[in-house]
Structure 1
Amino acid sequence: MDSDNLITRHLLITGHVQGVGYRWSMTQAAKRLGVQGWVRNRSDGRVEACAWGTPQAVQALVDWAHQGPAQAQVKRVVVGNVPDGGEPPQGFTQRDTV
């Protein structure tokens, strides 16, 4: 990937998004889209993710985040920009809850 054409977005997903396979499903969606980054549960009940890739692929993952897996009930997705810097992560991983 040409790092000059890549973006990073931070997502906070609110709703019934824990205990429904959201992190696993997002990891699978990110891998299909070629997006790198991570996803994790937060102790406040939200899911947090950071997605790194082409603008089109990252936007496709953001669009997916608004629906999530079938069992999820997504109420809100807050998307923030992440400043450029550093090497992208390798793959897309699930992280421990914070």
Structure 2
Amino acid sequence: MESSESMLETRLVRVRGTVQGMGYRDACVEHARALGISGWVRNRMDGSVEAMLQGSTEQVAEMCEWLEDGMPTALVEEMEIADIAPPFPRFNGFEQLPTV
């Protein structure tokens, strides 16, 4: 039997392009909550958006697809996805964090 941590996937995603100033983070929070994803999203000072995603493999994959193509007004030029290996912090819910 697998532990709950091994069934949980955590990824840090950096999205570059025209992704700030159009409600991208608000839409991201709404979509992540609808999918049951935990974690956070925030703007970066360099104009990118960063998201920590935690959920099942399917949930995280679907959220990554949305981050790339789900918002018609966003122009995603590049996405960097890094897997975070256990042990990792467990997130409760999905929220916006301040810009860093």
Q: TM-score, normalised by structure 1?
A: 0.93
CA RMSD of aligned residues (A): 1.1
Q: Which has the larger radius of gyration?
A: 2
Kindly indicate whether the alpha-carbon contact (under 8 Å) linking 1:23 and 1:39 is maintained by their aligned counterparts in 2.
Answer: yes
Q: Which residue of 1 aligns with 2:8?
A: 6
Structure 1 segments unaligned to the other structure (5+ residues): none
CA displacement at 1:88 relative to structure 2? 1.2
Q: Which residue of 2 aligns with 1:76?
A: 78
Structure 2 segments unaligned to the other structure (5+ residues): none
Identity %: 36
User: Are residues 1:31 and 2:33 paired?
Assistant: yes
Give the Cα–Cα distance (whole angstroms) in 2 for the partners of residues 59 and 86 of structure 1.
18
Task: Work out the number of aligned pairs and report it.
Answer: 97
Write out the 4+ residue segments of structure 1 that deviate beyond 4 Å after TM superposition: none
Kindly indicate whether the alpha-carbon contact (under 8 Å) linking 2:16 and 2:47 is maintained by their aligned counterparts in 1.
Answer: yes
Q: TM-score, normalised by structure 2?
A: 0.91
